[in-house]
Each structure stands twice: as structure tokens, then as C-alpha cells.
Structure 1
Amino acid sequence: MTTAYFVQCVISFVVAIGSVALGVIYLPIDPWVRAFFAVSVLYTVTSTFTLAKCVRDRQEIASMASRVDQARLDKLLTEHDPYKVDA
């Protein structure tokens, strides 16, 4: 996942929330506006799931890098023998 994709997900989420807010503010009992509201809610739900997936993927990448570093350190520590004498 690239930084650009993550930013796109965040922007998509913000646009979705903004469109729902505008839909709620300007919601007379008009079928066109109701349709706008329905599409905005649908867009908000889908972009919320996308944003959640992006955040989860970033967290998994960070924890995997941490685990790899920990494994390297563990290997170095197990291979080190403080009592070994080089002759």
C-alpha cells in the first residue's frame, strides 16, 4: 500500500462525511435530495470500510517490520558466546 493510496482513502472518507453532512443540512422532503442522501450514506459506508482496511494494513506492516527486527536481534544474541576465546 502506497502513501498516495492511503491519502486517497482519507480524502474519500472526508468527502463522504462532508456529503452526508450537506445532505442532512439541505434535506427537504424532495425525492432528488433524498436520493442524494442515500448515495452519500452508501458512499460513507464503503469509504469507512476502505479507510479501516488501510489503517489495519499499515498497522500490520509496522508490526511485521518490528517482528523482523526482533528476530534478527534474537538471532544475533543466540549466536553470541561471551565465553568464546579467539585464538
Structure 2
Amino acid sequence: MTKTIQPSQTAAFYGQALLSFGASLTAMALGLVYLPAPGWIRAFLAIGLLYVVTSTVTLCKVVRDRHELSEVTTRVDQARLDKLLAEHDPFKVDAQ
């Protein structure tokens, strides 16, 4: 039976991703607050920023779910193949 190694992420990578997301969101929010434009333009850009953030989170979830589904399918196919190989006896003579 084959043993698969699950990839793992380190706490440093997770922390870096959170800090990067927080820094970029904060920078954009501050940019919108101090933008020399009327309030309705800043509000429109803020809604656009929120839409980009939520659609990015949704895209990440969809990509992760598709990847996990393909891994499950691969594991099921591998288990079926292992079972067939374990049951196969090339030296077995069929009685007729």
C-alpha cells in the first residue's frame, strides 16, 4: 500500500499570509479614506474593494474544494486498484 505525504503549511506561512492580507486591506482602506474625491466616489470604490475581497475568498474556497475532491477521487481509485491487484493471482488456473 502506498503512503501519501500530506503537504502542510507552517505557522510562519500562515502568519505571513494573514499579515499580508491585513496590510493590503488596511492600505486600501486608508487610501480610500484620504482620497481627495467626493464621498460618493469613495463609497463606490469601497464597495468595489469589498466585492474584490469577498470574490477572492470565494475563489479560494472553490479552488480548495475542487482540489480536495480530486484527492478523494484519486484515493478511491487507488484503493480499487490496490484491491484488484491484491486479489489477482497470475498463476491461478481456471477449472473448466
Normalised to the residue count of structure 2, the TM-score between the two structures is 0.57
* Structure (1/2) with the larger helix percentage: 1
Q: Tell me how far 1:86 sits from its aligned partner.
A: 3.0
Residue matched to 1:77: 85
- Give the Å deviation of 1:45: 0.5
Mapped pair 1:48 → 2:56:
yes
Say how many residue pairs are matched: 62
Q: Using CA pairs under 8 Å that are at least 6 residues apart, name the structure with larger relative contact order, 1 or 2.
A: 1
Percent identity of paired positions between Structure 1 and Structure 2: 66
Aligned to 1:86: 94
User: 2: distance between equivalents of 1:84 and 1:28?
Assistant: 84
Partner of 1:59: 67
TM-score of the pair, normalised by structure 1: 0.62
Q: CA RMSD in A?
A: 1.8
- The runs of 5 or more residues in structure 1 that have no matched partner are 1-26
Q: What amino acid is the match of 2:53?
A: V
Structure 2 segments unaligned to the other structure (5+ residues):
1-34
